[in-house]
Amino acid sequence: MFLKINDIEIFYKKAGSGKKVFLLHGWGGRADSFLPVFNYLSSKYEVYAIDFPGFGESNQPSFPWDVDDYQEMLFKIFDCLGIEKASLIGHSFGGRVSILFSAKHPERVDKVILVDSAGMIPQRTMKYYLKVRKFKIMKAVFVLFTKGTSKQEKLDKFYEKYGSKDYKEAGSLRQTFVKVVNQDLRPYLPQIKASTLLIWGENDKDTPVSFGKIMEKEIPDAGLIVFKDAGHFSYLDKLHDFNVIADQFLGGV
């Protein structure tokens, strides 16, 4: 099914009845990234899974978005579907959107499950800043000595060769990716009023457990569960446990 919001066609799936739950996928994912969770929860709840604009079957925005643009889009989806209040389950990038939406629109959120959520900028070390400086020098030299018809063409070649894996795979969403990963959502954590469950994989290298521990301290009503032998996709690595725990949390008073 599709919704049209601000000239963007947004794909979504819906199944089940009862309390409303939204599944928000991670960067590079789509609605079906949550398919086994969608199938399980839709036997007990009214479950929605969306393709964020730029992913899956949804159209790409006409300009680079940041997290606020995505959460505002979710707000409009709620209105278009006539949903007054729902619970959110957000993985990684979907966690970013869940954090900001929950902080800005607390009246529209029942409960929140953040799964290996992104949203915080890790503490930078001197080694990090030296690495950034080296990268900038490499870029300047590359642009100066590489043949090309324009500076942008040279930059594109540079990032294609030396950019991070996530940046390379972002394709036409690269500018959006840069805006998103540089947004620090930590100041919004204390503004989340909804009861929040944090689920993490102990071996998550993309968004480490330390993120979850900070969120547990700074979100007023939050608890953290860490799955052993699970990584960044902990909800898939420990699917049965995740489904049972999510059901208990969402169905509780």
Cα–Cα dist 230/128, whole Å = 27
Residue of 161, 173, 223 whose CA lies nearest to 65: 173
Q: DSSP assignment of 79-120, as one string?
A: HHTT-S-EEEEEETHHHHHHHHHHHH-GGGEEEEEEES----
What does the pLDDT average to over 66-90? 97
Q: Is the pLDDT of residue 66 over 90?
A: yes
Fold of 2-121+182-251: Rossmann fold (3.40.50)
Residue of higher predicted confidence among 102 and 141 = 102
To which H or E segment does residue 235 belong? helix 234-237
Q: Is the pLDDT of residue 155 over 60?
A: yes
What does the pLDDT average to over 52-69? 95
φ and ψ of 225, to 5 deg: -120, 130
Weakest mean pLDDT among 30-34, 76-80, 139-143, 213-217: 139-143
Q: Tell me which range, 10-14, 118-122, 128-132, 159-163, is most confidently predicted by mean pLDDT.
A: 10-14
How would residue 128 be classed by pLDDT, with cut points 50, 70 and 90? very low
Q: How is residue 176 written in tokens?
A: 């959006």
By DSSP bridging, strand 86-91 and strand 109-115 are: parallel
What does the pLDDT average to over 48-66? 96
What is residue 4's three-state secondary structure?
strand
Q: Would the CA dihedral through 166, 170, 176, 178 be positive or negative?
A: positive
Residue of higher predicted confidence among 125 and 232 = 232
Q: What is the pLDDT of residue 173?
A: 85
Q: How is residue 153 written in tokens?
A: 């063409």
Taking the domains of the chain in order of start, what are their residue ranges? 2-121+182-251, 126-178
Please provide the average confidence, as pLDDT, over all residues in the chain: 90
pTM of this prediction? 0.86
Angle, vertex CA 197, rays to CA 195 and CA 201, nearest 5: 165
Weakest mean pLDDT among 34-48, 86-100, 170-184: 170-184
What does the pLDDT average to over 126-155? 66
Residue 147 DSSP code: -
Q: Is the pLDDT of residue 231 over 80?
A: yes
Q: What is the pLDDT of residues 158-179, one digit of tens each?
A: 666 666 666 556 667 888 988 9
Residue of higher predicted confidence among 162 and 38 = 38
Cα–Cα dist 197/75, whole Å = 21
What does the pLDDT average to over 93-100? 98
Whether the CB-CB separation of 239 and 41 falls below 8 Å is answered with no
Question: 193-206: b or e for each residue (b if 16 or more CB lie within 10 Å)?
Answer: ebbbbbbbbebbee
Whether the CB-CB separation of 4 and 12 falls below 8 Å is answered with no
Whether the CB-CB separation of 62 and 69 falls below 8 Å is answered with no
Q: At which residue do the structure tokens 């089940």 appear?
A: 16
Residue of 245, 251, 231, 249 whose CA lies nearest to 92: 231
Q: What is the pLDDT of residues 170-205, one digit of tens each?
A: 667 888 988 999 999 999 999 999 999 999 999 999
